[in-house]
């Protein structure tokens, strides 16, 4: 068993016990130390769920490649600060016209392995440093739920269960984390009919419910690759902003253009250049792409 597998197993065991919100290590964001163990953690009203909260174990996430090496963390933090600035501005209409449903931000890419999951997690952590926001990270890569797996919730009910059954309250499946302003919705179990579920009107409804729950909420959705799955296309129709992660010097230009074609007509698409070789492991450059935003938010 690899070090990563061992670490994930340890975390899974830990997260099966109710209510352990513990200290985690790392720079991003500041973790509030535990004030004692509660069997049903309720954190700042960020989630109405009564399911056990989870600990974002920095060492485990780092070992799984979902956080940068410690020596790159502050550089990455600076880069994400820039990236999130415009996304938040568009979501809440700060200095720019508000993007309809801009609080729903999908992290996409043309192909697998470009850094969507890495970006979704690190962006969510960066957003969660803003105490005016409540950030909900959603594992919408239901066919390959890496985040859910690494966080020890690979078999936990989540988005899929809420989509399958309209009587399920999606809020009840959200997990609080040890970061008070960050919560997590796992992918759920059994992805056979994923495309149908993600393109259903119930998905529209769930997305709307997630946004309506809390006016300070920003929802970050990890997703499957645009050109390799059909689920991803379905998701693009429910979100207000799409961030396309492009792996520097890896994604062929025609492939990227094909992916962007699938997003034509979407009101807000942006690109993040990931893993530029200008730094050891990560560098980000961000620019808007084809943004034609209406002036008002009808959502
Ligand atoms: N900025 C970064 N710095 C360092 N490593 C990174 C960075 N972005 C991605 N990686 C690494 O690249 C690999 C792929 O990243 P990730 O799993 O996020 O891709 P993905 O687009 O979600 O892939 P998939 O579509 O298969 O889910 C991972 O091992 C991750 O650790
Ligand atoms: Mg992924």
Number of structural domains found in the chain: 1
Task: Tell me the pTM.
Answer: 0.82
What pLDDT does residue 46 have? 54
The answer to whether residue 202 sits within a structural domain is: yes
The answer to whether residue 294 sits within a structural domain is: no
> Measured between alpha carbons, how far is 295 from 174 in angstroms, rounded to an integer?
32
Among the residues of 18-92, which ranges form H helices? 58-63, 73-92
Q: Are 175 and 183 in contact (CB under 8 A)?
A: yes
The answer to whether residue 299 sits within a structural domain is: no
The answer to whether residue 295 sits within a structural domain is: no
The residue assigned the tokens 């500041």 is 30
Sheet of 175-176, strand order = 175-176, 182-185, 134-139, 217-222, 104-108, 241-247, 269-274, 285-289
Ligand 1 atom closest to the CA of 228, numbered from 1: 25
Q: Are 191 and 142 in contact (CB under 8 A)?
A: yes
Nearest to 56 by CA among 27, 78, 96: 27
CB distance 112 to ligand 1 below 6 Å = yes
Q: Which domain holds residue 62?
A: 3-29+38-289
The answer to whether residue 194 sits within a structural domain is: yes
The answer to whether residue 238 sits within a structural domain is: yes
What pLDDT does residue 16 have? 44
The answer to whether residue 297 sits within a structural domain is: no
CA atoms lying within 13 Å on the CB side of residue 25: 8
Q: pLDDT for 85-104, tens place per residue?
A: 989 999 988 899 999 999 99
Question: Ligand 1 centroid vs 294 CA: distance in angstroms?
Answer: 33
Question: Ligand 2 centroid vs 223 CA: distance in angstroms?
Answer: 7
Task: List the CATH number of the domain containing 18.
Answer: 3.40.50.300
Nearest protein CA to atom 4 of ligand 1, as residue:
281
Which residues of the chain are under the pLDDT cut of 70? 1-48, 276-299
> For residue 131, how many other CB atoms are within 10 A of its CB?
11
Q: pLDDT for 18-62, tens place per residue?
A: 333 322 223 233 222 223 333 333 344 456 678 999 999 999 999
> Residues whose CB is under 5 A from ligand 2 (ion)?
116-117, 146
Q: What is the dihedral of CA 182, 50, 211, 202, to 10 degrees?
A: 130
């Amino acid at each position: 068993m690899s070090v990563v597998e061992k670490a994930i197993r340890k975390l899974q065991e830990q997260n099966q016990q109710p209510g352990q919100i513990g200290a985690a290590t790392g720079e991003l964001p500041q973790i509030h130390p535990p004030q004692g163990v509660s069997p049903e953690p309720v954190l700042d009203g960020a989630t109405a769920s009564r399911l056990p909260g989870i600990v974002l174990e920095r060492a485990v996430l780092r070992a799984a490649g979902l956080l940068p090496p410690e020596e790159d963390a502050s550089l990455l933090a600076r880069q994400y600060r820039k990236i999130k600035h415009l996304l938040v501005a568009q979501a809440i209409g700060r200095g720019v016209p508000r993007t309809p449903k801009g609080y729903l931000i999908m992290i996409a890419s043309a192909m697998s392995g470009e850094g969507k999951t890495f970006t979704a997690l690190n962006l969510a952590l960066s957003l969660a440093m803003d105490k005016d926001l409540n950030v909900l990270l959603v594992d919408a890569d239901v066919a390959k739920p890496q985040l859910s797996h690494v966080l020890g919730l690979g078999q936990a009910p989540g988005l899929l269960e809420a989509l399958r059954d309209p009587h399920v309250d999606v809020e009840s499946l959200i997990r609080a984390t040890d970061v008070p302003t960050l919560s997590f919705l796992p992918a759920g179990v059994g992805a056979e009919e994923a495309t149908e579920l993600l393109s259903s009107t119930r998905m529209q409804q769930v997305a709307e419910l997630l946004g309506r729950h809390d006016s300070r909420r920003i929802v970050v959705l990890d997703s499957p690759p645009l050109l390799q799955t059909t689920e991803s296309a379905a998701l693009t129709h429910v979100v207000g902003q799409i961030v396309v992660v492009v792996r520097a010097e890896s994604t062929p230009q025609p492939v990227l253009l094909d992916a962007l074609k699938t997003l034509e007509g979407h009101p807000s698409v942006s690109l993040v250049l990931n893993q530029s070789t200008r730094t050891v492991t990560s560098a980000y450059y961000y620019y808007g792409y084809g943004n034609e935003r209406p002036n008002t938010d009808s959502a």
